[in-house]
Amino acid sequence: MRSDTVGVPSPGVEVKIGDNGEVFYRSPGTFVEYYKNPDSTASTKDAAGWVATGDAGFFEESTGHLRIIDRAKDVGKMADGSMFAPKYVENKLKFYPNILEAVVLGNGRDYCTAMINIDLNAVGNWAERNNIAYASYQELAGHPQVYATIKAHVEEVNRSVAGDEMLSNCQIHRFLVLHKELDPDDGEMTRTRKVRRAVIGEKFADLVDALYDGSNSIYTETEVTYEDGRKGKIKATLKIEDVQVFGAAQAQKVAAQ
């Protein structure tokens, strides 16, 4: 953990950032301990009085302000040691009505990629207005115009992320649109619709590999659970799209090529 601390407006309160990006604080008014629960106390507060918030953040160099960006358990590091904050980017992507879910990958990697779910209602309404016929979620998700729209959204997010010095390496370099909706019944999300990253990384390992090995497309078969409990498989060939990155990430990409 870094030893540097920065005072904040409240007198006597100190804040510091751990090596994993987690925010810690201490002050004379910090709680002493959890009642009859020493294990919880030890996991939350250390012997020096620093309390773990569970949130990840950093101090802005220009203002000195503390920025909270994500839960600490979801934050990692890119291969070059820069911060990897997937939810920060995912939430920007989900701002667009056409995008229902997004899973950003990049922990320990040279660059970030994404797997995206379209919102069937929003994209379906767009298709009807434009007289675009489709027979299934899978067919609509793979439509060239849908891909072009999602690509434009991703590049707009990249432009926004590029302006954030601490997180600019979290720009997405490649993406694909998933052939099925992430579903709690398939174990890909919790019942409260939180992405289960470990499950997705294992279940869609072939897609993850394709996003990072330069492939332009990937054939995949995915097991699904139907409403009546039956199991089946969805087969699809997914397109993988390269997208523009900006600022330092763009210069780094050009140098790598």
The pLDDT tens digits of the residues spanning 163-221 come to 988 899 999 999 999 999 999 989 999 999 889 999 999 999 999 999 999 999 999 99
d(CA 206, CA 196): 17
Which residues, at least 6 apart from 116, have a Cβ–Cβ distance to it below 8 Å? 93, 99, 101, 102, 103, 150, 154, 175, 176, 177, 178
DSSP state of 50: P
Q: Which residue has the higher pLDDT, 77 or 208?
A: 208
> Which regions of the chain carry the CATH code 3.30.300.30?
75-256
Is residue 211 within 8 A of residue 240, CB to CB? The reply is yes
Q: Which residue has the higher pLDDT, 5 or 112?
A: 112
CATH code, residues 6-71: 2.30.38.10
Distances in whole angstroms, Cα of residue 79 to Cα of each of 131, 161, 220, 243, 251: 45, 18, 28, 20, 17
Residue 257 — very low, low, confident or very high, per pLDDT cuts 50/70/90? low
Rounded to 10 degrees, the C-alpha dihedral 96/97/100/106 comes to: -10
Q: Which residue has the higher pLDDT, 218 or 49?
A: 218
Percent of the chain at pLDDT exceeding 90: 58
* pLDDT value at residue 252: 66
> Which regions of the chain carry the CATH code 2.30.38.10?
6-71
User: Does the pLDDT of residue 7 top 80, yes or no?
Assistant: no
Q: Where are the beta strands (DSSP E) in the chain?
A: 6-7, 14-17, 22-26, 51-59, 66-71, 76-77, 83-84, 99-105, 112-118, 172-177, 217-225, 231-242
User: Does the pLDDT of residue 247 top 80, yes or no?
Assistant: yes
Q: Which residue has the higher pLDDT, 18 or 205?
A: 205
Q: What is the architecture of the domain spanning 75-256?
A: 2-Layer Sandwich (3.30)
Average pLDDT, the chain: 88
pTM, 2 dp? 0.81
* pLDDT value at residue 256: 62
